[in-house]
């Protein structure tokens, strides 16, 4: 099963590109770098760790 590559940050709703920087938790909640930093890399939805989202090759 592939990761869902969400297109917006769940906190500030900024647009995210599939090959750009973003962070996800184990439930695939997705956040931009600024929101990841603001939440100290803790998912505000589930409390899980936010890690860099892998990038897909075109």
CATH classification at residue 2: 3.30.40
Q: Is 80 exceeded by the pLDDT of residue 1?
A: no
The model's pLDDT over 2-56, given as tens digits with 9 standing for 90+, comes to: 888 899 999 999 999 988 999 999 999 999 999 999 999 999 999 999 999 998 7
Residue 3 pLDDT: 82
Q: Over 70: is that where the pLDDT of 58 sits?
A: no
Give the range of the structural domain holding residue 38, as residue numbers without chain letter: 1-58
What is the pTM for the complete model shown? 0.89
Based on the structure, what is the number of domains in the chain?
1
Q: Cα–Cα distance between 56 and 45 in angstroms, integer?
A: 25
């Amino acid at each position: 099963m592939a990761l869902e590559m969400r297109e917006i940050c769940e906190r500030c709703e900024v647009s995210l590109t599939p090959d750009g920087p973003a962070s996800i938790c184990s439930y695939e909640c997705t956040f931009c770098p600024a929101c990841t930093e603001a939440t100290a890399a803790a998912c505000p939805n589930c409390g899980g760790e936010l890690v860099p989202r892998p990038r897909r090759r075109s």
